Amino acid sequence: MGDDVEALPFLHVDMDAFYVEVERRRNPSLVGRAIVVGGTSERGVVASASYEARLKGVRSAMSSVQAKRLCPEAIFVSSDFSTYVEASREIHEVFFSITPFVETISLDEAFLDVRHALRLFGSSESIAWRIKNDVWETVGLDCSVGVASSKLLAKLASVAAKPQITESGVLAGMGVKVVKEADEISFLHAHPVRALWGVGAVTFAKLESLGVSSIGDLAQVPVSSLVSSLGVAHGTHLAMLAQGDDSRSVEIKRPVKSISHERTFEVDVQQYEVLKSEIISLSDAVAARLRSKGLVGKTISLKLRLADFSLVSRSVSIGEGTDLSGQISAKVLGLMAKVDCSDGVRLIGIRMTGIANRGPEQLGLDYGSFDRTDSNQLELSLTEQKKLAVAVDKIRARFGQSAINPGASGKNFRQPGQQRWA
Ligand SMILES: [Mg+2]
């Protein structure tokens, strides 16, 4: 059994209070104090809280009002995602110094498959310590590392390795937690069932009614009961996870560098209205792709192939990344206004670059309902655009892509090319 420990394939690395520690790295006066990143505005949401603030009950995604009530002494720092993205890149350099098999989960979290690195760097556990030390020494940040035979167990192990909040204060974490194969089932079964991926509030309520609170309880429930309560796919999946059966591998995703859509017209188009309509459609498609991947883009480019086949491209950068079609189309229309399209356009394309993960503050907005009381006001606020975008995504997810088209794109009024013969 002991030999198996050497070859445990999976590491889960998770930074400790990542945004907070990045802020402390550049402003050491914040060390040791209760810090809340994000939530600086009235309607803000906590992106990350230091352990001192967590001790008082502050959690990510909590409203800043609630966080202030729980922890009046907390210092609120506005979030700065470009700095966090840069710190994330530095951390990933450490990961890639060990193995190319890195699956990025978020800015501060990744799975590594270290099987091919064992010969070079020693046991999985020694690789975990090496990463922890290298991240500290080269990036100046703390992380916790879980080591196990599956991704599920490695993830639970990294949580177990973290600093712990207890009644008597914050206790330093182990830093690295190895789940030996012999201990897997007892380690897994001691966890609350909510620690499993795929157990949200609704599933948890159903499991609770079956008398399940720990993963150990879940393992005792016959698969047939889980299937009748949760459906075939979800029920069998959870039954497998409860037995520690998680065969997922580390998936190497290439980071998305750009998202673009373009359209070639059958006949060269001169009419502004047609081009504008196409820009709105393309912007909508680009924005929907960004949202589906949880990304935002900062640089918006317009590509035009003109009647004489010359290629024109123009771009503009915005301060904050966006995933909203209204913002994108407005910028593209501005770019197009500076191009002479009078001889006609053969192809039009929109491309987003400067891609980054959507920050938790952007996620934290209440996307719940789209409530417009002032129907005279034509311009939608940013918040309203976001709500609308989420509503559109939901409708399309349910009824298909063509169920809803951007209002101003005038998909029905005229096909490009028809105008010529009108
Ligand atoms: Mg983290």
Q: What is the pLDDT of residues 242-293, one digit of tens each?
A: 999 998 898 887 667 899 999 888 889 999 999 999 999 999 999 988 988 8
C-alpha count within 13 angstroms, C-beta hemisphere, residue 57: 10
The pLDDT value recorded for residue 394 is: 74
Q: CATH 3.30.1490.100: which residues of the chain?
A: 259-421
**CB 34 within 8 Å of CB 75:** yes
Condensed to tens digits (0 to 9), the pLDDT of residues 184-235 reads 999 999 999 999 988 988 999 999 999 999 999 999 999 999 999 999 999 9
pLDDT score recorded for residue 26: 93
384 included as an active-site residue: no
Average pLDDT across the chain, whole number: 86
Q: 162 CA to middle of ligand 1, Å?
A: 9
342 CA distance to ligand 1 centroid (A)?
53
pLDDT at 184: 95
CATH number of the domain located at residue range(s) 18-81 in this protein: 3.40.1170.60
Domain with CATH 3.40.1170.60 in the chain: 18-81
Question: What was the pLDDT predicted at 7?
Answer: 78
Closest to 53 (Cα-Cα) out of 23, 73, 82, 39: 73
Expressed in angstroms and rounded, the spacing between residue 12 Cα and the centre of ligand 1 is 11
**pLDDT tens, residue by residue, 128-174:** 999 999 999 999 999 999 999 999 999 999 999 999 988 888 889 99
State the alpha helices, DSSP H only, in 72-222.
81-98, 118-121, 124-134, 151-160, 184-189, 201-209, 215-220
Q: Using an 8 Å Cβ cutoff, are 203 and 233 in contact?
A: no
Counting residues of the chain whose pLDDT is more than 90, the rounded percentage is: 64
Q: Which CATH superfamily is domain 191-242 in?
A: 5' to 3' exonuclease, C-terminal subdomain (1.10.150.20)
Architecture of domain 259-421: 2-Layer Sandwich (3.30)
Which residues of the chain does CATH 1.10.150.20 include? 191-242
Q: Which range, 35-44, 55-64, 362-371, is most confident?
A: 55-64
| C-alpha to C-alpha distance for 258 and 351, rounded to whole angstroms | 7
The structure tokens listed for 98 are 């060990």
Predicted confidence band at 363 (pLDDT cuts at 50, 70, 90)? very low
What is the 139 CA–ligand 1 centroid distance (Å)?
15
User: How much is the average pLDDT of 341-346?
Assistant: 92
Residue 345 has what pLDDT? 94
Spacing of C-alpha 317 from chain mean position: 22
Which of 103, 109, 125, 361 is flagged as catalytic? 109
Containing 305, the helix (H) or strand (E) segment is: strand 295-306
- The pLDDT tens digits for 283-325 are 999 998 898 888 899 999 999 999 998 999 999 999 889 999 9
- pLDDT on residue 359: 67
* Token reading at 322: 């966006």
Separation between Cα atoms, residue 109 and residue 129, nearest integer Å: 16
